[in-house]
Chain A
Amino acid sequence: MGTELGKYKSCVSARSTNKEILKRSQDGGIVTQLFAYALEEGIIDGAIVAGPGDEPYRPRPFIATTVDELMSARGTKYNISPNVSWIKEATRSYGLDKVGIVGTPCQMQAVRKGQLYPFGWRDVDDKIALAIGIFCMENFPYQSIKQLVEDHAGVSMQSVKKMDIGKGKFWVYTERGATVQLPLKVTHKYEQPGCHVCLDYVANLADVSTGSVGSPDGWSTVFVRTKNGDDIWGKAIAAGCFETKPIDQVKPGLELVSKLANEKISKNQKTVEARATFGVNKALRNPYIKP
């Protein structure tokens, strides 16, 4: 395995030991459980999460300062939640000294860029106490997800209990027990274009990153990456927050994670390269080379 999984200290398959969290969690409840633990232990004093918004399955980023608030953000919403937009405000009117933030790989990149190169983020750099990254293959605008669920799957947005992308399908589960699946091929044209230049699958720059791929249903694959992440994860394990299994003892395991990461990166690397000759003697901009 190469660099596609980023730097990490350890990798396990895990799930929360809290039954309440697992009732509505997308997978193993890692994000909610780790933030809840960090909040109760004073490791963070609030976390930026994607809570319920004005329309069904439209996320609204907000700063959770209680476990109840964290619980309201459980579950994946497959559309854009600008979590990073709260990062400065968390240290202003909210008065937080130790900020937690969850986000996709690009949002972890944004956080780390802002820590090393803060332009409009005064006093934010050393107040990021726990950045949890979630695996992400691509995201969708809200209207895309609505079109997929309502037009392609034929389900009303209000009746959806859970959405999931896994095993090569887009799954929609309703509150009343129906399941609809769409082939991923149908979803491709609805993807957010900005995702096609993304070269990170498993949130390489997070303190701890987690996602479903690699682990059985109801469990999550977890990478512990930084010193800070290792410290917090170790304490959470010692406190009995998680059940864990060595990643090499679960199926499909890291091999599949690596395969998908490589597929994403090589496909998007090609897109980045194609931008250089997009026009006639004219290129589209490449952010990885210069602003």
Chain B
Amino acid sequence: MAEKITVGHVHMSGCTGCLVSLADNYEGLLTILDKYADLVYGLTLVDVRHIPKMDVALVEGSVCIQDKCSVDEIKETREKATVVVAVGGCACYGNITRFGRGGQPNQPQHESYLPVGDLIKVDVYIPGCAPCPQLIRNVCVMAYLLLKGNQEQQELAKKYLTPLMQLAERGTEACGCDLMYDVVNQGLCMGCGSCAAACPVRAITHEYGKPNVNREMCIKCGACYAQCPRSFFNFDVITEFEGISELIKGALQ
């Protein structure tokens, strides 16, 4: 068994739901902590006060730019972490904090929130509000294989993580409108229904086979577009679904 990677959980302006999602891997999380990763930072779970060096930083929440401590912290995270993963809709896209506009006691000037990718370079996105435990788990396992695996495992991990890295390059804005801009308007929608199943607030219905987004309900989490098989569909990985599912399951035994 190769040595473990070091992982930290960095809590910006988030709700801790992303961390709960990680914990909702139940025994899977314990196996990951036993075999593959040391949790070196995470104010909710670990008594380490300052951000240490780490291989992977799981960042949840967006950044309030009027809160100096938060801005310093996200910059420090970038300096200390080899791989920065934005976990959840807030870190990736702002999500509900996109609607923050200040005016509430006792910091009425705390009005501007940005996804972390607007302040630092982010390597990997895990969109979703809440993000799925299974996807956080898969990324943790693949990050381990990427950093500690043999050449074949590294290749697989790279292939697996590529679309999540491409989502990070794509930008920091998300909305149900993405389904219009980048799928329907692009002539790519085939009416499968994935987006409606992914939406956490049931803002998407299908009328005559095409998505209809209730934009007043949409909380801008980015799950619908990421889940759409016509946002990314990497044949090289997805056609190997049987083997890769078995590999991940096997890694967690």
* Residues of chain A having any CB pair with chain B under 8 Å: 6-7, 61, 79-89, 103-104, 106-107, 109-110, 112-123, 125, 139, 141-143, 192-199, 204-205, 226-227, 284-285, 287-288, 290-291
Contact = CB atoms under 8 A, between A and B. Distances in A.
Identify whether the interface residues of A are mostly helix, strand, loop, or mixed. loop
B106 interface: no
23 contacts: A80-B191, A80-B208, A80-B209, A84-B194, A86-B197, A87-B193, A88-B198, A89-B197, A106-B192, A109-B238, A116-B244, A119-B127, A119-B131, A120-B226, A121-B197, A139-B190, A139-B191, A194-B191, A197-B230, A205-B241, A287-B188, A288-B233, A291-B170
Contact of A285 (B135, B182, B200, B237): B182
Contacts of B226: 117, 119-120, 291
Contact of B241 (A79, A112, A122, A142): A112
Could you say which of A116, A143, A197 has the most chain B C-beta atoms within 10 Å of its C-beta? A116
Contacts, number: 176
B188 A197 contact: yes
A119 B244 contact: no
A115 B238 CA distance: 9
Instruction: Bin the interface of chain B by size.
Output: 35 or more
A205 B189 CA distance: 19
Contacts of B225: 291
B15 to A, nearest CB: 16
B217 to A, nearest CB: 14
Given A116-B238, A119-B226, A197-B188, A287 B197 contact: no
A141 B208 contact: yes
B27 to A, nearest CB: 14
A79 B209 contact: yes
B141 to A, nearest CB: 12
Interface string B119-155: 0000000111011111100100000000000000000
Contact of B128 (A106, A119, A142, A205): A119
B196 A227 contact: no
Contacts of A205: 238-239, 241
Contacts of A199: 235
Nearest to A113: B229
Nearest to B241: A112
Contacts of B221: 120
